[in-house]
Every structure is written in C-alpha cells, then in structure tokens.
Chain A
C-alpha cells in the first residue's frame, strides 16, 4: 500500500529566543506579586511557557522561573511548591495565568507582616523575548518523512510547533496535530499528539514520545 500523501506539506521551523530585560525587578515576595500584575503579558509568557525552551533535565524541576526564584533565592519552600505546580497549559489565556500566579503570591503572603528581601543581584529580573523563526529547510509530505524530520530537527522546532503556536494562538492544538488532522486525515493520531503533556518535561523527552506515537502509527499502516 502506498503511503498516504499529505494535502499540503509540513514545513519544520526552528526558533531563537532573543531575550529582552524590562528593567523591572522584585526583591521580595510582595514585590513579586505587584510586578506580576504590572508587567506585559509577554513577560508572563516568557517566564512560564518559555521555560520549556530554556531549561534542560537538570533544571526542569521548578516548572517556571517564578518557582525557581522562590526556591533558589528566597528559600521559601511553600511558595516554591505552590508556584511550581502551576501548569500554564491549563489556562485559557496568559491573563488568566497571570491572575492565578498573583492569587498564589497574595494568598501566600496573607497573615505575614514581612517577606524575606534579597539583594539586587539575587532579585527576580523580569524579561520578555522576541522569537525569531528559522525555517530549517525540511518538509514532509507523508508520515515517514514527517517522522524523519521530527527525529532530526533542532529542539527549538518542537517548542515552536507544540508550545509556542498552541499558547500564542490560544487554540487547543499544536501545529503537528493540526497537520496530521487536516492534511493526512489522521484524527486519532492527532488526538494522541494533543494529549501529550509537555509540562515538567524536556523538549527531547517530548520528541521521544512523539516519535514513539509515530512508530506505532507507521507500524499499524504496514500491510
């Protein structure tokens, strides 16, 4: 049986995150709560969703930059735990995510007169990023080519096609699943792609899991 040919090819695109400092800083938990309410949505995005792009196995334990700061600089275990468990994919948009983070910090501070203050060089420095897309010159017109492309592309392509497009467009599906569904009519496989949980894992692990799903699908297509 000839492999199913896509209605339109999939083009793999990588990305580079150009970081910008906002010159906005928090030296204690109270300031963190205030600044979280003020900074642009892009900054909330950078410190939560962007964590997936920047962090690797040894540092993924915190889930986002706010939890990491609470752990390493403030040494506040309770706040670390409450921030680390925040799954950015569970919110309909960045403002809802921001609201949740602010609520956690305010709730944590309730009943406390003061919070630990750190020196400036240990402050939380708010940033944002500009994503520069980089076409990688790889396209796929069927599932076999798609698997080969996914196995070899720079990890930033996995972030762009799964995390970035899904979060920015506020749609419930990533680029990979969208293509499988609309160009190859593989709805069941697309659904399995969408159900893959990238929270608290690494881009390489996500790649491995996606390749596993593709291997199963290719195996089942064999005569």
Chain B
C-alpha cells in the first residue's frame, strides 16, 4: 500500500484513482522542485508531494538554493518588490544574486525532465537552463509588482516554458503560457490531522486558552494587511452582546510593522482577559491545529493578502470563516455558504453576531466549507493538477 492510499479516507471519491491513472502517463519522467528555503507556505506542498510521487515510482527531488547574506538580502528585496512594495534594488545586488544562482545551478543536479522553480529567490536559475521543461511557480500576487522590477524580472521568467499562478488576476504580463493551480493543504499533516478533544485541551491549556466560552480565532502575521487591530475592534462590537473570547495568533517574523502592531495588541489585551495575543512560530503545527479546531468562528479579516492557507485549514476543520474581501479569500469563501466576505470592521462584527445568534448556521457552513476544501483545496487535487500540467507540457 502506498502513502497515497492513506488519502482515500479523506479525499473526494475518485481523487486517488485519478492520480494513479495520471501517474501512469508520466512514468519514467523525473521531477525537480527548487525552492528558496525549506520553511513557509509554498514548501508545505512540496514537502507533502515529494514522498508521495516517489512512492508512486516518479523520481522526484527537492533542492534549495542558497548563498551569502547579500544574496538573501537581494532575494528578499526582490520578492517584496514583486509583491508590490516600493523597494530599491541595486544593479550590483541583482548581479550578485544572478551570479550566486549560477553557482547554485552548478551545485544542484538539474538532470530532470520537468523543473519547477518556486517564487523569486531561485528564479534566475533558468539562465542555466537545459532541455528540461522549466516552470516558474509563483505563489504570490504579482499583478501590482513594482514596474521597473517586473521589467527586469520578466526577462527571466520569459525564459521558462510556462508559469503557474495561484489564481487568475495574480499574474503580470508574460510571453509564456500562464496556468492556474490553486495551492492546497495536506489533510494528514500535523497542521491539519484530526485531534481528539482531549488532545486539543492538552495543547491549549499551556497556551492559556480556556474553552468555557465561544472562541473567535484569527491566525496570521501581525501586519496591517492582515488587520489584527480591525479584528480587535470587531470583537469589541460583538462583545457588547455575546460573551466571547478572541485569540489572535501572530506567526512569522521580521515584518517591520510587527512590533508596533504587537504593542497595540498587547495594550488592548492588558485591559481585557478575554483577548489573548499569542506569537507562535510558523512550524507550531499542533498548536495552530488545536486553536483552529477549538474555534467557534475563524476570522481572516485581511485587507490585502495573497493566497493565505489559514482560511482553508479552518474550513477543513469545519469552521465558518468571516474573511476580508482580499486576494485569495474571495475565491476560498463562498458567501453565505461557507462563510462571509466583509469589507469593514462593522461588517465583520455583524456577520459574527449573525452566526452566534444562529448557531445552526455555524454547523451548516462548517460542513459546507469542509466539502469545499475536500473538492478544491486538498493536496490530492493539487497532485492531479500538477500531473496534468506535466502531461500537457511533455506530450
């Protein structure tokens, strides 16, 4: 029995068989994933997919590019500019970044039939391309990339055979075909696997989160884009009518705004014992899993975002999601079916109150959300799409 068989009990009917049949069409081909690190959202899918594909007889490797501190600094600046932030990139820095990737190309075994290069840091590897099919996998929204940066970067991406984006509208102009493959979650990972109620309690107690009242949870970086302060204001509007507790989980680090926002959140929490502010590392999978499972309603009140996976994780755990109308949220949340998209603090408070006053909706939307994720956002669907891409590119 292969690792893939474990997914039969959670994936949609026929999904595993479809993967097995597609695998037959790509037998003998070798895949290579190249990322800029081994942590973070985009790598989770690679981490889950690589062993499954190898189990199925598809030779699949995962390599990571690296370099000196100047290399990483330029890669971070480049990534931010591609995501639309105003940044200054020096010609010298970019030349150094390209040189380091030439070195990476020499170190990495590029002998494969299909090479999927993820996001900004390793992107210039393509200048050392071989006869393989090269695909640039973009996990972020680059539709509002800084114009001068995109002009430079586009010349690199146009050397690929294809690009893949997470959703339509996330692309910028390119000369190569642009495919759409939404990201996914692994339902059997530590982050998403089933937890017994006792396990949830044991994980939450050390975090100081009691379960004696309805729990609102938002997971995401403490940045303006994810609007944790707006969530606090929405919670306060709800609190006038319902005895609820809010848990804000800040993950990730290094954001310049984080300290300022965190200090405001801690100040608010100091006055209110039902407002809990936690900072967790992104690899705190059991804790995040338990918090999402303990939640009554999950919030994702982002005002600007890419394709965050936290709402999908929450829907998989049967929770309705009240989300901002931003980025991938509009694609993940089916309004009035799996949750609500809102445009303001007041809108978020209104929807939370509506759900708390109609608890049957919480169960119904939670169940619909889980089915929506089962069909559209599990790794099984992602593997099907990736294999279909390979069949399409190599036939």
- Chain A interface residues toward B at CB < 8 A: 14, 16-21, 23, 25, 56, 58-59, 72, 120-123, 125, 127, 130, 132, 134-137, 153-156
What are 8 A-B pairs with beta-carbon distances under 8 A? A18-B388, A19-B168, A19-B180, A21-B169, A21-B180, A121-B169, A125-B169, A135-B21
CB within 8 Å: A-B pair count: 80
Contact: B178 with A132, CB < 8 Å? no
Q: Decide if B206 is an interface residue (CB 8 Å cutoff).
A: no
- Chain B interface residues toward A at CB < 8 A: 13-15, 17-18, 21-22, 25, 143, 165, 168-169, 171, 173-174, 177-181, 325-327, 330, 334-335, 337, 368, 371-372, 375, 384-385, 387-389, 391-392
User: In whole angstroms, how far apart are the Cα atoms of A21 and B169 in the complex?
Assistant: 8
- Nearest-neighbor residue (CB-CB) of A137 within chain B: B21
Contact: B17 with A136, CB < 8 Å? yes
Contact: A120 with B143, CB < 8 Å? yes
User: In whole angstroms, how far apart are the Cα atoms of A13 and B165 in the complex?
Assistant: 28
Contact: B385 with A23, CB < 8 Å? no
User: In whole angstroms, how far apart are the Cα atoms of A122 and B335 in the complex?
Assistant: 14
Residues on B with beta carbons closer than 8 Å to the beta carbon of A135: 21
In-complex Cβ contact of B384 among A16, A56, A58 (8 A): A16
In-complex Cβ contact of B392 among A72, A121, A132, A155 (8 A): A132
Residues on B with beta carbons closer than 8 Å to the beta carbon of A17: 388
Residues on B with beta carbons closer than 8 Å to the beta carbon of A132: 22, 388, 391-392
User: In whole angstroms, how far apart are the Cα atoms of A136 and B180 in the complex?
Assistant: 24
In-complex Cβ contact of B178 among A23, A134, A137 (8 A): A23
User: In whole angstroms, how far apart are the Cα atoms of A156 and B334 in the complex?
Assistant: 22
Contact: B178 with A18, CB < 8 Å? no
Contact: B173 with A23, CB < 8 Å? yes
Residues on A with beta carbons closer than 8 Å to the beta carbon of B335: 72
User: In whole angstroms, how far apart are the Cα atoms of A23 and B175 in the complex?
Assistant: 11
A157 CB to closest chain B CB, in angstroms?
Answer: 9
In-complex Cβ contact of A154 among B14, B330, B371 (8 A): B14
B112 CB to closest chain A CB, in angstroms?
Answer: 20
